[in-house]
């Protein structure tokens, strides 16, 4: 049992924040003690909507000595700045993805956190949900044999048709690679382990985009980052994967993720969700066989990674799963893909990480007494 309350301060009260505010309240040892935004009205509205005691500026939140964890939901370009400030003030940090924009900042952040004896966590925590964790167990149990390869696809036509402020998706730190690939790459690392090298080709198909969503319909966006990237991933365990991420595709019927083993194939759920479905095909089968989920947290459980990290603060022997080392490895892979395309060569990864610990099958929603 835990007998201490971990106080969370949220910086960034935009579109994604609501589900975090809602879910964090389900954990008996977590409290959202404050929320902040550059737009004070957004912070005040969030505080009122979710009964948060304090709405303030980011600077005031960072200066609050009672805050244990800063949940950093700012735009990608601000992830590093906020995280460094939080760690320097003695607070643990859980960033939305990506960890930082640059490799250099990511590496320096992990080093500083170690010096300050605080923890770094990072989205996505969808890999801790029932869908991916069930896939993990099936692979670990040898259901499809030894991993041979994987394919992963995130194909769409960009967020300018639905997001109210889509500009940052096309700036450095955005694009389909940095915005969406963390879901896919974190899932692949969770299921297959770390990557040793990549080779990729990337392009910008539409140098200018027109916003069609409200309230900025008609405004133009100059694209700064590749929007169609094809990457080959060479895993430490010998498996070879293909990842295609694109904001340049009008429609696609490709699956999200498939894992191929020596004794069968697996259909993996959308890595941007916490649930299923999952199917297995074995030699001799005529059709795919659906599999029941064996783990909990099957609905939108964003905040699960924050809770896991908070539990690690309370229980020093616990190693939180959505950790900075994995997030940095994913960041390294993404940069390596862009670098490979620019230089026309295979790029070897300098970072490595361990597969995160599997989630226990018996873990009940809102609890971490494990």
* CATH value at residue 174: 3.30.360.10
At 15 the pLDDT is 87
At 3 the pLDDT is 60
Q: What is the pLDDT of residues 7-61, one digit of tens each?
A: 999 999 998 999 999 999 999 999 999 999 999 999 999 999 999 999 999 999 9
At 367 the pLDDT is 72
Q: What is the pTM of this model?
A: 0.95
* Same structural domain, 82 and 173: no
* Same structural domain, 138 and 262: yes
* Same structural domain, 33 and 108: yes
DSSP letter at 152 equals E
Of 59, 92, 122, at which residue does a domain stop? 122
* Same structural domain, 11 and 78: yes
* Same structural domain, 200 and 219: yes
* Same structural domain, 143 and 286: yes
Within-domain flag for 222: yes
* Same structural domain, 151 and 110: no
* Same structural domain, 139 and 114: no
Range of the domain at 55: 6-122
Of 122, 147, 179, at which residue does a domain stop? 122
* Same structural domain, 90 and 238: no
Question: Which three-class secondary structure string do you get for 154-207?
Answer: EECCCHHHCCCCHHHHHCCCCHHHHHHHHHHHHHHHHHHCCEEEEEEEEECCCC
Within-domain flag for 166: yes
Within-domain flag for 68: yes
At 369 the pLDDT is 60
* Same structural domain, 29 and 107: yes
* Same structural domain, 50 and 160: no
Q: Which pair of tokens denotes residue 51?
A: 């009964």
Within-domain flag for 304: no
128: region left, alpha or beta (phi > 0 left; psi from -120 to 50 alpha): alpha
Contact 346, 199 (CB under 8 A): yes
CATH value at residue 33: 3.40.50.720
**Into how many domains does the chain fold?**
2
Within-domain flag for 324: no
Within-domain flag for 351: no
Of 291, 321, 345, at which residue does a domain stop? 291
Contact 69, 9 (CB under 8 A): yes
82: region left, alpha or beta (phi > 0 left; psi from -120 to 50 alpha): alpha
Within-domain flag for 93: yes
Packing angle, helices 40-49 and 17-24, rounded to 10? 40
At 306 the pLDDT is 98
Within-domain flag for 350: no
Segments in the chain below pLDDT 70:
1-3, 368-370
* Same structural domain, 57 and 182: no
The residue among 337, 291, 55 whose CA lies nearest residue 197 is 337
């Amino acid at each position: 049992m835990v007998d201490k309350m971990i106080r969370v301060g949220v910086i960034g009260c935009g579109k994604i924040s609501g589900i975090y505010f809602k879910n964090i309240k389900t954990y008996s040892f977590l409290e959202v003690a404050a929320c902040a935004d550059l737009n004070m009205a957004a912070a005040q509205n969030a505080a009122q909507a979710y009964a948060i005691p304090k709405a303030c500026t980011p600077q005031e939140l960072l200066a609050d000595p009672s805050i244990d964890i800063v949940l950093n939901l700012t735009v990608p370009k601000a992830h590093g700045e906020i995280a460094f400030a939080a760690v320097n003030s003695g607070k643990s940090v859980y960033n939305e993805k990506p960890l930082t924009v640059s490799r250099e900042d990511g590496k320096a952040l992990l080093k500083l956190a170690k010096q300050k004896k605080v923890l770094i966590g990072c989205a996505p925590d969808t890999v801790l949900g029932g869908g991916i964790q069930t896939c993990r167990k099936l692979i670990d149990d040898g259901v499809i044999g030894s991993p041979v390869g994987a394919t992963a696809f995130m194909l769409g036509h960009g967020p300018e048709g639905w997001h109210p402020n889509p500009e940052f998706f096309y700036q450095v730190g955005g694009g389909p690679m940095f915005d969406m690939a963390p879901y896919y790459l974190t899932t692949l690392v969770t299921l297959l382990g770390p990557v040793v090298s990549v080779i990729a080709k990337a392009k910008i198909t539409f140098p200018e985009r027109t916003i069609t969503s409200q309230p900025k319909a008609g405004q133009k966006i100059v694209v700064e980052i590749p929007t169609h990237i094809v990457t080959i991933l060479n895993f430490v365990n010998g498996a070879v994967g293909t990842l295609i991420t694109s904001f340049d595709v009008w429609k696609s019927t490709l699956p999200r993720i498939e894992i191929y083993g020596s004794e069968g194939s697996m259909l993996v759920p959308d890595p941007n969700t916490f649930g299923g479905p999952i199917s297995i095909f074995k030699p001799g089968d005529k059709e795919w066989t659906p599999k029941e989920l064996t783990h909990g947290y099957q609905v939108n459980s964003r905040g699960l990674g924050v809770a896991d990290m908070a539990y690690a603060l309370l229980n020093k022997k616990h190693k939180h799963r959505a950790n900075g080392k994995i997030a940095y490895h994913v960041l390294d892979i993404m940069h390596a893909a862009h670098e490979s395309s620019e230089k026309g060569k295979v790029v070897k990864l300098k970072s490595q990480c361990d597969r995160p610990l599997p989630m226990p099958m018996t873990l009940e929603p809102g609890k971490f007494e494990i």
